[in-house]
Amino acid sequence: MSERKLDLGWLRIFEAVGRLGSITAAGRELGLTQPAVSYQIRRIEEQVGAQLIDRLHRGCKLTEAGETLFRAASAGIERIDLASRDIRTRAGTPVVRIFTDYGFASFWLMPRVSEFRTLHPGVEVHVVASQGLTGAFDETADAAIVFGRRSDFPAGARLLMVERVVPVCSPGFLERAGPIADAEAIARQPLLHLDTSGKPRWLTWTSWLAAYGVNRTPRQGDLGLNTYGFVIDAALAHEGLALGWMGLIDTQLANGSLVSIGPELLREDCGYWLIVNRQARHIEALGDWLVGHA
C-alpha cells in the first residue's frame, strides 16, 4: 500500500472539506451533493489507509493525518491554479481571480456569476473565499470584495453593498419561542454568533443589541459558528436567532424560510467594497457588472 499512487481527482474535494470544515459546505462550493463528497472522502481514506476527518454533530474537523494531507493538497492546488492562470494568460484566455469571504461568495456572488460568464464567455472567473483578509491585496487576486469601513481600503475602492442588518429566525423557531417584541426579548433568546478573530469588521450581536440599549454578552444556549453559511444553516434548523445581512439573505426572506423579527440597523460607512488590484479591460467589465447588480 505504501507504494500505491494516489488518484489525484480528489484534490479539490478534500481541500474544500478541510478548508470549510464541512462536507455540506464543500459540496455547495463545488456543485456536488453531500453524499458525493462523503463518498470521495471515504475513497481517499481507503487509499491512504487512515481516517482523515472526524465527523461532528455540525461539520467536521481534520485528524492529524488529515492535517498533513490538507497542507500538501492546499499547497498543490495553489501552485496548480497559478500555473493554470499563467498558461491561460499566455494562451490569450483572460482569467479573473476574485477574493471574498465565504458568506458573500455563497449567498451573493456564486448565484450571479454565471450571468457574467454568459455575457463574457471568453473570460474565466475564479472565486477564492476566506474568512480573513489574507489574500485580498496580494498578487494572486485580480479583484477583492471585502467587508469593512471606507477608511480600511484604498482610495479607488467602490462600494457594492452598504451594511444593513436585521435579526432573523425560522418560522418554526418563532412559533416555538412565541412573540419576540423588542431588543430585550431578542436578548433572552439563544443567539447564533459568527466567530471572528480580532476586532470584528461587521456588526455582532453585542453591537447590534447595544445600538438598542441592551447590554448582553454570549451566554449558555448560544451557538458560535465559524462561517456565515453555518450561521444561516443553524437558523434554518430552528437553533436560534441570527443576524441577517440584507443582500445576502434576500432569497431566504423572500421564500419565507427566514423571517425578520426586529428593526433594520444601517451603518452607512460599512459594507462590501470592491478593490481592483490590477487594471485590465475584462476586470473593469467585471467591476462595472458587480456594481450594477449590487
Which residue is listed with cell 483578509? 133
- Domains of the chain: total: 3
pLDDT of residue 271: 93
What CATH number does residue 232 fall under? 3.40.190.10
**Using an 8 Å Cβ cutoff, are 153 and 146 in contact?**
yes
Per-residue CA distances from 112 to 29, 104, 115, 228 (Å): 14, 11, 6, 18
Whole-number Å distance between alpha carbons of 185 and 42? 45
Question: Do 95 and 85 touch, CB atoms closer than 8 A?
Answer: yes
Q: Is residue 3 part of a domain?
A: no
Q: Is residue 225 part of a domain?
A: yes
Query: Are residues 82 and 74 in contact, defined by beta-carbon separation less than 8 angstroms?
Result: no
Three-class SS state of 244: strand
Interhelix angle for 110-119 vs 281-293, to 10°? 130
- Paired with 213 in beta bridges are none
- Residue type present at position 237: A
Instruction: Choose the final residue of a domain: 63, 83, 103.
Output: 83
Q: How many H helices and E strands in the chain?
A: 12, 11
Q: Does residue 277 share a domain with residue 145?
A: yes
Cα 1 to its chain centre, rounded Å, is 37
Question: What is the reported pLDDT for 2?
Answer: 43
**Same structural domain for residues 151 and 201?**
no
Same domain (yes/no): 74, 121: no
The residue out of 55, 83, 111 marking a domain boundary is: 83
Does 265 fall in a domain? yes
User: Do 136 and 165 fall within a single domain?
Assistant: no
10-residue mean pLDDT profile of the chain (294 residues): values are: 55 88 87 87 89 87 91 85 71 75 88 79 78 59 86 86 95 92 92 84 92 87 89 94 94 95 92 80 76 78
CATH of the domain at 74: 1.10.10.10
Alpha helix ranges (H) inside the chain:
11-20, 23-30, 34-48, 64-91, 102-104, 110-119, 171-177, 183-187, 205-211, 228-236, 250-255, 281-293
| Domain co-membership, 118 together with 166 | no
In a domain, 2, yes or no: no
The residue from 83, 104, 128 where one domain ends is 83
Residues in the chain: 294
Domain that holds residue 190: 161-269
Give domain status of residue 88, yes or no.
no
Euclidean distance between CA atoms 185 and 292, whole angstroms: 38
**What is the model's pLDDT at position 140?**
65
CB 85 within 8 A of CB 98: no
- Give yes or no: residues 102 and 171 share one domain: no
Q: Are residues 203 and 287 both part of a single domain?
A: no
User: Contact 160/272 with Cβ under 8 angstroms?
Assistant: yes
175 shares a domain with 165? yes
pTM over 0.75: no
Please report whether residue 213 resides in a domain: yes
Q: Are residues 263 and 170 in the same domain?
A: yes
Q: Are 197 and 254 in a shared domain?
A: yes
Q: What are the angstrom distances between the C-alpha of 197 and each of 72, 149, 176, 226, 245?
A: 25, 17, 33, 10, 20
- Same structural domain, 130 and 225: no
Are residues 101 and 70 located together in one domain of the fold? no
What pLDDT does 245 receive? 95
Give the pLDDT of residue 6: 52
Whether the CA torsion 215, 244, 108, 173 is positive or negative: it is positive
